[in-house]
Structures are given as C-alpha cells and as structure tokens.
Structure 1
Amino acid sequence: MGIPDSSDQAKLVLYALGRFLFKRFKWLDDLRDLNSSIQNLQAAMQLMPDGYIFKQECFVLLGKSLLIRFDRFDNLTDLNESVTNYQEAVRLTPDSDPIKPTLLASLGVILGARFDRHDDMVDLSSSIQKLKEALQLTHVSEASPDRPNWLTYIGISLRTRFRARGDVSDLNDSVEKLRQALTPSNDPHHPAMLSNLGNALRVRFERLSDLDDLNESVQKMHEALRLTPDTHYSKPGRLNNLGNILNARFYRLGDPEDLKLAIQKLQEALQRTPDLHPHKPTRLSNLGLSLQANWEKFGDPIDLNKSVERHLEALKLAPDGHPNRCMLLNNSGIALKTRFDALHNRSDLDEAF
C-alpha cells in the first residue's frame, strides 16, 4: 500500500531517497541517479511547509543537484531553479547559523555564473552583494579557509563591473579585495592570487596611469610566474600576462630591457600554447606588437618581418566569428602598413587595405 503524500513519512522517504540518489550519483556518475534525485527532492519539497526541519537542507541539495545538471547539459532552466532554491535556503537560515556564510557565498557564485550567460548586471551586482554579506557575518574569521576564495571572487567580479560601468570605486575595491585575498607563499593557490592582483593593478594603471600600480603589477606577475610549475596549465597565460605588462611599462618608461624581456616571455607563452587553443591568436598578436615595438626602437627589419608574420598567423587561426577577429585584423593592417612605409613593398599596402 502506498504512503499518503501528505504524511510526514512521505516527506522523509522522498527526501531520504533524493539524498541517497545524489550520493550514488557522486560515486558512480550515473545521470539517471541525478535526475531521479532531483525528481524526489522536488516532490518532497511540495510536501514541506516552512519551518519543516529538513526544508532548508532540501533546498540546498536541490540547488546543488540542479547546478550540476546545468553544468552537464547547459539547460538555463536548471540554472534559474538552482538560484531560486539557494535563495530560499538563504531565506530560511538565520544569520547565527554557521552554514549561512557558505549559503550566501554559493548563491553569489551561482548568480555570477548566470551573469556570465546573460550579461545581466543585476545578477552581477547581486552576486557581489551576497558574497560581501557572507564575509560580513561575524563567524567568518580572518582564518576561515573560505575567506580568500570569496574575496577573490568579489575582487574579480568588481573588476568586471568596472569594465561595464567605469566606476573607479569598483576598481579600487577590486584591488583592495584581491590584496586581502593573498594567501601565504606556501599555499598552492598563492600564485593564482598574485596573478589576480597583478591583473587588477594593470587595469587600474590603464585607467589612472599611476606608475606605482604599473610597477607593482609587474612585480606581482613576476612572482606569480616564478611560483608556477612548468607543467601547470596556467603557465602560458601567466607568461603572456607578464609579457604584456612589461610591454606596457616599456611604452611608459622606455627601458629596452622591459621590451626584451616582454618578447622573451611572449615567445615562451606561444611555445606552450597549442594551435587549437582559443587564446593562441591573441597571443600571436601580442608578440607581433612587441616585435613591432622592437623594430621601432632598434630599426632591425627582421623584427618587422617577424611582427607581420605573427599577425598573419593570428588571423589564420581566427576565422570569421572569432570574438577578437576585428582587433586582429586591425593589428595586422597596421603592421603591414608599417612595413610598407619602411620597405615600400606595394603588396603590403594592398594587403593592409
């Protein structure tokens, strides 16, 4: 005989079955378990009034399950429902509950993921707000292992909002949060934290032209690269970032050693980047720009020819529809026009146009 849907036993059975199926999915990675877990948790939720002992936990588990399914199948309905479930879990959780900061931070991260899909600034601002609320709760101590990650997420999100709105206070807050996020030098995440701070300082230098930001950005990028193992997946990106900021400092201060080192780092970044990597075209173009600067500084036509070659290689790897194709076309055209002005080869002028 079936259990009546309205009984306490039905709620418990559905919830317990949903939890078990979620755990089995985590063990075996069988998507049928994930789907069944979601169905049972949703059914249990329909029977649970506010104040029911397991309702908050059910919201959290359902939110996690839906987020995992979104990551697998990219169904926006799952993402939206995950947000709703985490919002409800936060609503039902008092500030004094030790889990409240984690729930707020999780909601902030999921709202950030939805911003990445929709570019809705409301989601980005809500994401920042929820993560700040998580940090402000009294039981999040300075020594909390989650604190650096939450500060990092806030810092990166503030930098994103600055790019969209141009509010310098967001940029300053971003630098502050990323500085607070720095972990001890023996922490495995320390190089990534240094790189994040270096990038934010670079953006602030581009906006405010403060030489202290430029120099500190170079220093943080150097240190991040030094601490990154050669086999780490982030090594090419950090080489590229250091090359770009050294190039920026060369343009500001004119020290040829900065340009020489920039070219070296950009070449090494390219050597470590496969042709099919989405950032390969941009990294080729970055090296082309530095080689062109080297030609302008020292007048060696070999650098100019290599610059054009790198720009044209970048275009070949960036078909129509590539997000940076317009920039790559512009850089290639400038390089070809520069070589025409220097060497007077008509084909360069024709190709530039």
Structure 2
Amino acid sequence: MEVRVYSESQEQSIPLSSQPEYKSQQTQGTSKSHYRRTTEVLEPMEITRLRQELLKTAIQNHPDQVNFLDSLESRLLDLYEQARAAEEFNKAIEVAKTAEVAFNGYHSRRCPWLSRLGDELGNRYQRSGSVDDLDRAVESAEEAIKFTIDFSPEYPGLLNTLVSRLRNRYNYTHSIADLHRAIDKMIATVQRTSRKNPDRDFYLISLADLLGTRFDRTRSKIDIVTAIRHARKVMKNTLPDHNDRAKRLSILGTLLLSRYEFTGSKADLDCAIKHACSSAEIAISEQAEYPAILGNFAGCLFRRYLHKGSLEDLSQAIEVLKTAVVNISPSDPWYPMLLYNFGLYHVERFKNTNANQDLDDSIALYKQGLNCVDIPPSIRVRLAHEAAEAFAADKRWKEASNILDDAVALLPSISTRLLGDLDKQMALADATGLATFAAAAALNAEKCAGHALELLELGRGVIASDILDTRTSIMGLEQEYPELASELESLRDELDSPPPIRVLAVEWETKAKERRELHRQFRSTCDKIRTLPGFKTFLLPPNLSELKAAASSGPIVVINTNKYRCDAFLVREDGVQVLHLQNLRHTDFEELGLMRERGEGPVDKIPRLCWAS
C-alpha cells in the first residue's frame, strides 16, 4: 500500500492558463454604484435574504436586472472569498449554493458557481470524510460540464475537476467504476487540449497516474505500458527547473516499480529507484506533494530490500518515511497511509533484527493512524489488522485481541451493495480474513469460545449480508408483513440488477446517484424491519444465543483456520466448546483451494474433518 502522488494533489498547481476565467460580467461604470464592499461574515439569514431578493426581482422582470445581477455576483464573490480565506467551508458552500440557485438559467454565471460549489464540497470532504459531500461534489462537477460548450477554453479544466472528484471517491470506496470513468474523462481532457498548450503535459501525467492505479487493480498490461509511455513523453517536455519536475519524476518511478512487480525486470526496478531518488532530491518541503514523493521513494527502496535482502535499503526507507511523516499534516488524507507503510517497515526490520524498539515503534505508528479522525473505515480496519499482527509477533495476545474486536465492530459500516462483483469479492475476502484473525486472537488471549465465535460470525456475515441472497429472510417477512416484504424485495431487485452496458456520459452520475438513493432506502427499510417483533436481527449474522438455538436438532460445527491456530467450534444448545486442531495447518486449506482452482487432484488426500456424535 505505497503512497503515490495522485492527481488530486496536483490540482492545486494547474497553471492559470487552464483555469476557466470566471469573471463577473459587470460593467465597470454601473455595477460599482450598486455594490458596497463589506467585511461582514456571511450569516444564514443573509443568504436567505439574498436568494429571495434575487428571485423576487427576476420574477418581476426588474428593468435594471442585469446591473442587479452584476452587483449581486460581486457581493457573493466577496463573501465567498472571505469564507475561503477563513477556511469556513460551511459558509463558502452556502454562498456557492445561493449563487447557483440565483443564477439558474444564466449558464455563463451559474457554471463557475457550480464549479466553486464542487470545490468547497470537496474541501469539506477532505476535513470531515462525509461521503455525501463527495457525491454532491461529483454531481456539481457533472452539472458544470453539462452546461459548458464542448471544446471551449474552460472545458478541459472542468473535466479535470470531475476527474479529481471521481478519484477521491474511488480512494474512499474502491469502486473501480469510478476509476474507469475518471480515466475516460481524463482521456477526453487530453484530447480537447491543444498539443501547444502547456497544460497538456499536466493532464497527460495525470492520465498516466490513473492508468497506473488501474493496473494495480486489474493487472492490465496495456494500462501500464501506456502509462509509462505517457509519463516518459511528459518528462521529455519537462525542463530541469520546472515546478512539477519532482512530482512527475516520482510518478514515473512508481509506474516503473509497478511494472517491475508484474514482470520482475531488474532494469525497471533500477530505473524506478533512480527516478524516485532524483525526485526526492529536488523536491522541497514546501511542496504539497513532498510527503508523497518521499513515500514513493521509500516504497522503491523497500521493494529493493525485498529483492536483495539489504537491510541498508530497509533502514534508508525508514529514515525517508520519518522525514515524510514530519512534513505532513495529520489532517491530510494520506497521513494514515504513510503511517501504515512506516509501521510496516519497522515490523519488517524487527523480523530481521529482533530489536524490540522497532516493534514498539510500529505499534505506536499504527495506533497513531487509528487515532486519525474521519478516515475511511476500510483504512482503519487495515491499520488495526497490522497493529494486531505487531502485537501477535510479540505474543501480546490480549492487546491484539482488543484491537481486533474494535476492527470487527467497524465492518458493518463497510457496505458492498454499490460495488461491482470483483469489488464485492475483495471486500468479502478482507472481512473474512479479519474475522478469522480476530477469533484466533481471542482464543489465544484466553477469551471465551462464545466471544470468539461471535467475532467470526460477525465478520463473515456483515459483508456477506450485502452480497448473498436475501430471499430466505424475505420469505419469513412475507408471512407477517407482506407490504414491507414487497417493498424490500423491489429495492433488492433494483440494487442487484446489473448496470446498463452503455450509458450516456450525461446520465452516468444520475444513474449512480439513483443507486446510492436505492441503497439508502434499502438500509432504512432494513432498520425499520428490525424494530418489529421477531425481526431484531433481520439480515444480520446470528448471535450466540441464536446459534445455540439452531443446534436444537443437533450440534453445529464451525471451523476456523488462521496462520496462528486452527480450531473447531462445537455449538450445542447448552454452550460452545472449542477444540484446538493442533495437527491442522492453515496452509493445508490454502493448498486445497489452489488445487481446486487448477482442477488438480486427487483432493481426497487432503486431511478431512471426521465428526462422530
């Protein structure tokens, strides 16, 4: 999970020539007489008053409407800039909303405000982690593009803003549909930018970075080859004193590193380290991308350590990341990711040197990452998993178990109904792996067997409840509450239906918004059903009492395999007994899975579980 210099971090450095010239269409002689400069902070009541005043004037066809609109836009711009300067995102958003509503029907005025609204929603998302803000930022960017003439000077900049928002959402949800769309829009951005335009290289390196990200997911050879070709082309056009040279070198280095991991080419590894090192040497700490550039360099060194086994490379990677962490704000969205890598490197050095300081440092770093506010649950879960691994390496099972208990509790906040099939499978695998570790750690910490089994069922059931068929549960609901059952079944069918193969560009975000709304309705309906008598755990994994009740017709056996231990849980009506399977190894099951994937046999030589009551 190496930190890369992503395109959204470059957005702040787009040359002015690429930014839309959002100028007020005021006439110099008349508008100023209608506009009084103010330093007052915008209040909600004033926003409402301005909106009402404009709409009233528009309805009455005010004879001085043009000058009035000019004056109003000037005032809104002033209030907007005040809010931005104070980093009061809520107020900036309210101003932009007011302007967007006020100038509805005046596309040349409204589009810039849609863009500003998307920017501020994106800024607030970075601080609060609100996915709703992120969705609305994407919608605003889409709306601004829809009302802008294709091939106009500002069109590529608006496309780039949309790409940045889609990338942000991909980073949060890992939905590859957003990544595909971001790439399509960035290709369109490059195509609509003249070869003589200096901004074209900016867009091209962003496209290369996006293709590299998709390669990391899909392992599509054409993506990584195209990405490296684009990046090398950009570097040929980048002068030694160019402000973005360090950033672009870093991206090229990470792309070459990705190809090395795919092909094993030592030449790619050497070139990756060369470019990453050069990038780190010329980067300055004042650059917004400085920590990520150092993170990329550390990642290259770590890969060479894995290739050659040189502890010198590993120690250098740790020192580089130490500098990166010092130079990044804890509110930066990539801060927990840097801490994740930093802890990982310390654990690796501990494995080689048995230095307890490295283990303690790794645990402290993971805890520091877990204390970050408003980070995606998926990232928090991964940090917790690695922290528990560090505790396990030191046989501190109670601490490992406690942190895994908290991580498993986060799983209900990770939903997969909005993801594609491949994304769902990845989410299910991650959740199951966490649950098996949590159950094993609980037993090693001498917690009761019932608690370990509940953790196992929670982890395996929460994500699966979004993926697996709900028909069985709905059948029971139909008997007592047929109307609710019908409503839920309709929502389920709409959510589970495959997306259309071809969707017009202007309809894409609308369709995505509709699916998000369906998902919210589905969860709301499930919550409503759980308030009804007898349906408290509707579509939720079974708790311990339910598992014991299910064993009324005979014992239930649940097998848990983990690299630390393998166990059989024997569930009876009177309780849960755990049988430690000392002669069973987790690798036995892994080998069985590989043999089945390859269609090899015979598989009957694999150890079996024999149960006799």
Provide, for residues 28-76 of structure 1, a one-character-per-residue CA deviation record: whole Å limited to 9, x for no partner: 226546524422431431xx2xxxxx41441232232243144236555
* Residue 334 to residue 18, structure 1, CA distance change in 2 (3 Å): farther
The residue number in structure 1 matching 2:316 is: 264
* Residue 21 to residue 111, structure 1, CA distance change in 2 (3 Å): farther
The residue number in structure 2 matching 1:289 is: 348
Structure with higher RCO (Cα < 8 A, 6+ apart): 2
Q: Is residue 41 of structure 1 aligned with residue 74 of structure 2?
A: no
Structure 1 stretch displaced more, 96-105 or 126-135: 96-105
Paired with 2:101 and 2:151, the residues of 1 have a C-alpha distance of 27
TM alignment of 1:150-161, pairs within 5 A: 150-161=203-214
Q: Indicate the structure with greater helix content.
A: 1
Q: Secondary structure at the match of 1:83?
A: helix
* Residue 8 to residue 142, structure 1, CA distance change in 2 (3 Å): farther
* Residue 269 to residue 252, structure 1, CA distance change in 2 (3 Å): closer
The residue number in structure 2 matching 1:5 is: 59
Q: Is residue 201 of structure 1 aligned with residue 256 of structure 2?
A: yes
Structure 1 stretch displaced more, 310-319 or 75-84: 75-84
Paired with 1:251 and 1:59, the residues of 2 have a C-alpha distance of 50
The residue number in structure 2 matching 1:300 is: none
* Residue 57 to residue 204, structure 1, CA distance change in 2 (3 Å): farther
Q: Secondary structure at the match of 1:264?
A: helix
Decide whether the 8 Å contact of 1:194 with 1:223 is kept in 2.
yes
With structure 2 as the length reference, what TM-score do the two structures score? Answer: 0.45
Structure 1 stretch displaced more, 314-323 or 180-189: 314-323
1:58 maps to amino acid: R
Q: Is residue 55 of structure 1 aligned with residue 114 of structure 2?
A: no
Unaligned segments of structure 1, at least 5 residues: 49-53, 296-303, 337-349
Decide whether the 8 Å contact of 1:60 with 1:89 is kept in 2.
yes
* Residue 126 to residue 331, structure 1, CA distance change in 2 (3 Å): same
Give aligned-pair identity as a percent. 17
Q: Secondary structure at the match of 1:95?
A: coil
2:211 maps to amino acid: L
Paired with 2:269 and 2:391, the residues of 1 have a C-alpha distance of 27
Residue 161 of structure 1: how far off its partner (Å): 2.2
Q: Which runs of 4+ in 1 moved over 4 A?
A: 8-15, 30-34, 73-79, 230-240, 274-277, 331-336, 350-353
TM alignment of 1:148-187, pairs within 5 A: 148-182=201-235, 183-187=238-242
The residue number in structure 1 matching 2:275 is: 220
2:354 to 305, 310, 316: 305
* Residue 179 to residue 229, structure 1, CA distance change in 2 (3 Å): same
2:213 maps to amino acid: T
Paired with 1:11 and 1:76, the residues of 2 have a C-alpha distance of 38
Paired with 1:233 and 1:213, the residues of 2 have a C-alpha distance of 27
1:127 to 171, 182, 185: 182
Paired with 2:71 and 2:240, the residues of 1 have a C-alpha distance of 44
Structure 1 stretch displaced more, 241-250 or 148-157: 241-250
* Residue 225 to residue 205, structure 1, CA distance change in 2 (3 Å): same
Paired with 2:96 and 2:293, the residues of 1 have a C-alpha distance of 41
TM alignment of 1:243-282, pairs within 5 A: 243-253=298-308, 256=310, 259-270=311-322, 273-274=325-326, 278=336, 279-280=338-339, 282=341
With structure 1 as the length reference, what TM-score do the two structures score? Answer: 0.73
1:176 maps to amino acid: R
The number of aligned residues is 317
2:359 maps to amino acid: H
Paired with 1:87 and 1:8, the residues of 2 have a C-alpha distance of 31
Provide, for residues 222-265 of structure 1, a one-character-per-residue CA deviation record: whole Å limited to 9, x for no partner: 101111236666555544543442342344356x5xx4244234
Paired with 2:184 and 2:262, the residues of 1 have a C-alpha distance of 24
Residue 82 of structure 1: how far off its partner (Å): 4.1
Paired with 1:28 and 1:155, the residues of 2 have a C-alpha distance of 36
Unaligned segments of structure 2, at least 5 residues: 1-52, 371-379, 396-443, 446-562, 565-613
TM alignment of 1:16-95, pairs within 5 A: 16=70, 19-29=73-83, 32=91, 34-45=93-104, 48=105, 54-72=106-124, 76-95=131-150
* Residue 67 to residue 9, structure 1, CA distance change in 2 (3 Å): farther
Decide whether the 8 Å contact of 1:112 with 1:124 is kept in 2.
yes
Decide whether the 8 Å contact of 1:239 with 1:265 is kept in 2.
no
Paired with 2:301 and 2:202, the residues of 1 have a C-alpha distance of 28
Paired with 2:92 and 2:384, the residues of 1 have a C-alpha distance of 43
Residue 217 of structure 1: how far off its partner (Å): 0.3
* Residue 271 to residue 79, structure 1, CA distance change in 2 (3 Å): closer
* Residue 227 to residue 247, structure 1, CA distance change in 2 (3 Å): same
Decide whether the 8 Å contact of 2:343 with 2:366 is kept in 1.
no
* Residue 184 to residue 39, structure 1, CA distance change in 2 (3 Å): same
Paired with 2:163 and 2:290, the residues of 1 have a C-alpha distance of 29
